[in-house]
Structure 1
Amino acid sequence: MSSKNVYCLLLIFVFLINFTDTFAEELPKLDNPMSLEYLKKNLRKSQPRLVLNRDLEKDLKKKLKTDPVLQNMYAAIQLNAESIFDEELLTRKMVGRRLLGTSREMLYRINMLAFVYRIEKDQKVLQRINDELLAVCAFSDWNPSHFLDVAEMSLAVALALDWTAGDLPSSTIKIAKQALVEKGLNPSWPDNEKPLWWTNGDNNWNQVCNGGMIAAAITVAEDEPELAAKTIARALDGLPNAMAAYLPDGVYPEGSTYWDYGTSFSVTIAAMLESAFGNDFGHWDFPGFKESAVFRVLTNAPSGMYYNFADCGDSRSENGDLILAWFAMKSGNETFYERSRFLQPADKMEKLKRLAGVSMVWLSQFKKNDAVTPPTAWKGEGHNPIAIFTGGVNDPHGYYLGTKGGRGMVNHGNMDGGSFVFELNGVRWVVDPGNQDYNTLEQAGFDLWNKGQKSQRWTLLTKSNFGHSTISINDSLHRTDGLVTITDFEDGDRPLVSYDMTATLGDVVAKAARSFTKDSPVSVLIEDEIVKSDKTGLITWQLMTTADVEIVEGGALLKKDGKTLKLENLSHADISVSLVSLDPAPLKLDRQIPGLKRIELRIPAWTIGSDEVKIKVRLSGE
């Protein structure tokens, strides 16, 4: 054999070793001992057993006599429960392709009513639970074509049966169990035995749908043990595919409000498994999961807004974070336990979250162990990497900078790689356009969920790079499959984060990098380094704001709420910034944001003397 052939075989051998090593790192798994035998031996026999059990209930009722948080939250739940009696029973009302609003309302009602029933054993409340159950169990189906609807309804019906613990009429129990099987569990097992996509999906559908099916399975386990066992086993196998989204540092790629949705079902699953089997099968120790509580805290900005990247809502509720409280209970970290928010007047809390009832169980279990303050400079890697700089808990300036990488291809993602939000002195100066109503777009026949490069999705201001504070080249879209990664991170007095933006900008540049430096307690320095390609025609630096803008020599002045922010163009003094009004937004279907505008610094490639251009912009406040 010639030396050339030997060399080629060696290269192939090395490639195969590397290929094998790459895929040898398997996805973390949950423990899964579930079988018919395991279920029969280990499932708690008495009810309740979904999140709550007799031991937990005894402790909860004892603490309810003295704990001001539990007392106040219970008062709010009582007010919510009482308001339900003024409402009509639910009907099978579709909104577009979804029954989800009805399913969520049912889950809300049962959380309020069933928790009050556990405490008071009021027959009026029991009768209302009975009526609510019979109403939804009479539906023709729970809309399996959009399985989230089935999942949330199944959890509601399962909780209603479990928390009433045999006190409902036997006829109602029979009807409700039959509905859980026929309208919930059976549709999750298609006749062709081909698994539904969400069973092993990589997003919140997995968490929500498997969560609803686990609740249903536990509730009917005595009547349908084989169906229950195989359903729970399927879930324990499939859930890691969704929980992998938290890897490695806890960043939830779909944003903070979707963290709330997906994680609310993950913690409810863990709580149900613990209460029913005495084991969460590895949820708490799943890599990245417990770290996601830090992500959640840090995406709450001083203004009360979220760092609202991806399809995230704009502002958080004034109420305490019930899902974060589960992490407080597990860790003992008081930072995750929003005591002051839980203690605001009960009548000011208005309509509670639909899992408020079950959340009372883990609120009652919280025991302070420590109060670990979140870092003031933090980065999280993953599918949608981000970095956040703050001024800390007692910062008089309310400094907040959120920056991100990622790509449009992630679940609920946008073409927002390299974008950022910036707050100072109580004002969000640099904004993200956030989310908009799905149903309105879907009813218009809009191609919202296609993430291909030519999808209609990218014509929306909320989704494309033209609605985000980033860099655009040749007025063209970012590459939806181009991942923006973190390349450098430094904490300390002058924290810095750098991103490689080359992949998302594509072949219209040879290379692109962006960095953010907190260079003082009231400022941020944004630096871009772009190496031109033969396709580079126009470089646009852009910033989204709702502030009033005055263009001045060397940059611009932003004014809002009696405050001022200076934008300094440090690198291209010969080019003035320009202003594009986006109120109204370009498309009728766009989200309309009052006062929205885009500040631009447009640099023609022909004005650049070399292959590389450096852009420096500083934002500074008072």
Structure 2
Amino acid sequence: MTTRFLLILSFFLFPLFSSCGKSDSPVGNEKEDIDDKDPFLAEHPRLLFSAAEEERVRELMVTDPLMKELSVYLREEAQKLIGADQYPYKTGTSALLTAARDYVYRLITLSLAYRMFEEQSFLKESETILEWICKYPDWNKVHFLDTAEMTIAVSIAYDWLYHDLSPEIRQKAKNCILQHALLIALKEYKNGDEGSWAKRETNWNVVCNTGMSFGALAISEDYPDLAKEIIDNAVKYIPNCLKHFQPDGVCYEGPSYWEYTTMHLAMFLKLLNDNFKTDYGLGELPGISKTARYYVNTVSPSDQVFNFADSPEDYPVYKSPVFFFYSKYYNQPEVASWYRALIQKHVINKKENPKWHFFLCIPWYDNAPSTVVTPNKLQVFYGVNDIFVFNGDTAAGSLFLVGKGADPDMAHQHLDGGSFMIESEGVRWTDETGAEKYNLPGFWDYSASGLRWSYFRNTNQAHNTVTINDEIQYPLGRAFIKEADIQSEEPQVVLEMTTLYPNTNKFTRTFKQQDANTIVLTDDITLLSTSDIIRWSIVTKKTVKTDENRAILTSGDKKLYLTILEPQGAKFFTKEAETNSANEKPIHGFTLLQFEHSGERINTLKVKMSSIND
């Protein structure tokens, strides 16, 4: 990371810090006088939702129809939490992380419900949870994500309920934040190397630094110097991760980690702005202002998510309040409009409770009106993983396709260069098999010979792309958008994939939208040897019927038709997807639709995918 944030945040919460002139400016900001800024929120609550913001929320609960429904839902869900079983202390697995995330949900929900409805049962249950968590001997510092999320949970309840908590519970919570989190963090900032949770370039950085900032601000009146040091370091190191969002907001770690990272970033930016009246340039880093629009535009018309990288199978669309935060922060009302519709459809109508941070959608609610934005037929989003999206139209049978490049040796990546998801009429036709078990031997070895690439789900053989000689894509190669013709009536995007295939002199994959119902996929491959065997493949859960060069995918009364246009004589066949070893997570219900070609050095594989049987 070349840009360093040398911040001297000596104007802190209150007069305990004296003014100090100027600080070095982060990217995107001119130098600012810290001592010219308004004092930040010296009183509790000061985390994410101030007392001054309550009046607006209460008004919206009366005047806004969706907000009315959300307030009813909040009370209902808070009542369900009364008397719920507590999590026993366990480490060594994901048990404590699971507990921490549920406690984030419980304490946001209960604390917010108490602030909105002033029912004592919500306060008492919050105290019960805090007392239980504070009995834990630690918050599993060896897996610091657990510590970070537990700190967020306790800090929010401590801050939001500060004036009503019993003195005993308040003291216990403060001590745990200090002992189980902040003192440990200070040592890591001082001694941790570039692989430390505090300084690395992945989601851990943003999540853990945000968690420590919650704790620091929650108890800062008692430990101002410690709090200053925590905030200084968090602002300094979070850009190590954020640099990978440039230029268009893509999170290379996949949609599940996009959600994890951007939600915690949103909370961190809110903490900074509420308390210092600035984000010290973090919100202006390249790609951050575009990231919510990127996500929204890659979700299919039926709310399907292209779950690439280590994202779970059947990963649902994210229903987090992060969209309200970014819509307001960057004046993107269409993002808020999209999210309101999502909440109404999935949460209010279907009662799909996303949990975790969900009820922050109430204090962050954005009711800004938006005009309908019609996307281009082809959209491209550049980044570590280039992403492209083909949009059809609103007519029946219109195709939606989202595909990707690749940089396999980055965190959470698969050998999936050229893979894609295609949908029509609410049916997803191509699938991803999801993430493998994280505790398999060598799972985190991204080197060319790493064991990570021995597991089926992580290889190109489990994705919608090409395999040559039954070999994996080269883990140190890359696929990226070489050309994109966005303005054409028949838009197309060309992926350069040669370095993923060492047995080729040339490999490009071209997606072309012939019309709203038809996309043609062309692979131009120059091999080193005529004996090499090329296998084209897609992964699907749908019923498959093959007939020579044609295949039909069926789901109910919906169909997708595939036709091999080139090479002549190629025939589709199917096989069941299987793991490479008994240690891997079982895989069921996935069919591989494939064809093979060999005998030529210069090859063109062309497949038409259409919702129309012509």
**Residues 75 and 346, structure 1, Cα contact 8 Å, conserved in 2:** no
Distance 1:497 1:48, change over 3 A: same
Question: Which residue of the partner structure matches residue 78 of structure 1?
Answer: 75
Segment drifting more, 108-117 vs 282-291: 282-291
Question: Which residue of the partner structure matches residue 408 of structure 1?
Answer: 408
For the pair 1:596 / 2:590, whether they are aligned, the reply is yes
Distance 1:353 1:535, change over 3 A: farther
Question: Which residue of the partner structure matches residue 501 of structure 1?
Answer: 497
Q: Give the AA of the match of 1:194.
A: N
Cα offsets for 1:242-285 (capped at 9, x unmatched): 11121111111122222111111000111122222222333432
Distance 1:593 1:554 in 2: 27
Distance 1:493 1:312, change over 3 A: farther
Select 1:470's aligned residue among 450, 465, 476. Answer: 465
- Aligned length in residues: 583
Distance 2:77 2:91 in 1: 24
**Residues 139 and 147, structure 2, Cα contact 8 Å, conserved in 1:** yes
**Residues 501 and 513, structure 1, Cα contact 8 Å, conserved in 2:** yes
Q: Percent identity?
A: 26
Question: Which residue of the partner structure matches residue 159 of structure 1?
Answer: 156
Distance 1:398 1:313 in 2: 27
**Residues 542 and 554, structure 2, Cα contact 8 Å, conserved in 1:** yes
- CA root-mean-square deviation: 2.3
**Residues 432 and 462, structure 2, Cα contact 8 Å, conserved in 1:** yes
Distance 1:405 1:36 in 2: 44
For the pair 1:620 / 2:594, whether they are aligned, the reply is no
Distance 1:395 1:244 in 2: 39
**Residues 495 and 508, structure 2, Cα contact 8 Å, conserved in 1:** yes
Matches within 5 A, 1:4-23: none
Q: Secondary structure at the match of 2:301?
A: coil
Distance 1:34 1:214, change over 3 A: farther
Distance 1:204 1:187 in 2: 19
Distance 2:586 2:167 in 1: 52
Question: Which residue of the partner structure matches residue 204 of structure 2?
Answer: 205
Select 1:361's aligned residue among 363, 374, 378. Answer: 363
C-alpha displacement of 1:318 = 7.6
Cα offsets for 1:343-386 (capped at 9, x unmatched): 357484253421123332211x5433655444331111111111
Q: Secondary structure at the match of 1:90?
A: coil
Question: Which residue of the partner structure matches residue 19 of structure 1?
Answer: none
Question: Which residue of the partner structure matches residue 103 of structure 1?
Answer: 100
Question: Which residue of the partner structure matches residue 288 of structure 2?
Answer: 289
**Residues 386 and 404, structure 1, Cα contact 8 Å, conserved in 2:** yes
Q: Give the AA of the match of 1:595.
A: G
Q: Secondary structure at the match of 1:168?
A: coil
C-alpha displacement of 1:593 = 4.7
Distance 1:587 1:302, change over 3 A: farther
Select 1:460's aligned residue among 445, 455, 459. Answer: 455
Distance 1:74 1:129, change over 3 A: same
For the pair 1:351 / 2:353, whether they are aligned, the reply is yes
C-alpha displacement of 1:86 = 3.3
Q: Give the AA of the match of 2:60.
A: K
Distance 1:366 1:76 in 2: 18
Select 1:44's aligned residue among 19, 22, 41. Answer: 41
**Residues 321 and 359, structure 2, Cα contact 8 Å, conserved in 1:** no
Matches within 5 A, 1:312-323: 312-315=311-314, 317=316, 320-323=319-322
Q: Secondary structure at the match of 1:274?
A: helix
**Residues 553 and 576, structure 1, Cα contact 8 Å, conserved in 2:** yes
Matches within 5 A, 1:302-317: 302-315=301-314, 317=316
Q: Secondary structure at the match of 1:213?
A: helix
Cα offsets for 1:548-593 (capped at 9, x unmatched): 22221333233332233222111122232322222x5454344545
Q: Normalising by the residue count of structure 1, what TM-score does the alignment of the two structures yield?
A: 0.88
Cα offsets for 1:216-236 (capped at 9, x unmatched): 000111111111001001000
Matches within 5 A, 1:370-409: 371-392=372-393, 394-409=394-409
For the pair 1:573 / 2:568, whether they are aligned, the reply is yes
**Residues 304 and 315, structure 1, Cα contact 8 Å, conserved in 2:** no
Question: Which residue of the partner structure matches residue 28 of structure 2?
Answer: none
Matches within 5 A, 1:249-328: 249-315=248-314, 317=316, 320-328=319-327
Distance 1:143 1:286, change over 3 A: same
C-alpha displacement of 1:414 = 0.3
Q: Secondary structure at the match of 1:556?
A: strand
**Residues 399 and 423, structure 1, Cα contact 8 Å, conserved in 2:** yes
Select 2:538's aligned residue among 523, 543, 548. Answer: 543
**Residues 399 and 521, structure 1, Cα contact 8 Å, conserved in 2:** yes
Distance 1:135 1:556, change over 3 A: same
Distance 1:544 1:101 in 2: 31
Runs of 4+ in 1 over 6 A off after TM superposition: none
Q: Secondary structure at the match of 1:618?
A: strand
C-alpha displacement of 1:315 = 4.4
Segment drifting more, 106-115 vs 335-344: 335-344
Q: Normalising by the residue count of structure 2, what TM-score does the alignment of the two structures yield?
A: 0.89
**Residues 51 and 274, structure 1, Cα contact 8 Å, conserved in 2:** no
Distance 2:315 2:526 in 1: 40
Question: Which residue of the partner structure matches residue 9 of structure 1?
Answer: none
For the pair 1:515 / 2:516, whether they are aligned, the reply is no
Cα offsets for 1:497-532 (capped at 9, x unmatched): 1111111112x1112111110112111111111122
Question: Which residue of the partner structure matches residue 20 of structure 1?
Answer: none
Distance 1:290 1:374, change over 3 A: farther
Question: Which residue of the partner structure matches residue 35 of structure 2?
Answer: none
Distance 2:590 2:490 in 1: 31
Distance 1:369 1:403 in 2: 28
Q: Give the AA of the match of 2:392.
A: G
**Residues 494 and 509, structure 2, Cα contact 8 Å, conserved in 1:** yes
C-alpha displacement of 1:447 = 2.5
Q: Give the AA of the match of 1:503.
A: T
The unaligned stretches of length 5 or more in structure 2 are 16-38
Q: Secondary structure at the match of 2:566?
A: coil
Distance 1:554 1:535, change over 3 A: closer
Question: Which residue of the partner structure matches residue 18 of structure 2?
Answer: none
Distance 1:371 1:47 in 2: 40
C-alpha displacement of 1:454 = 2.5
Question: Which residue of the partner structure matches residue 25 of structure 2?
Answer: none
Distance 2:374 2:291 in 1: 14
Question: Which residue of the partner structure matches residue 186 of structure 1?
Answer: 183
Distance 1:191 1:499, change over 3 A: closer
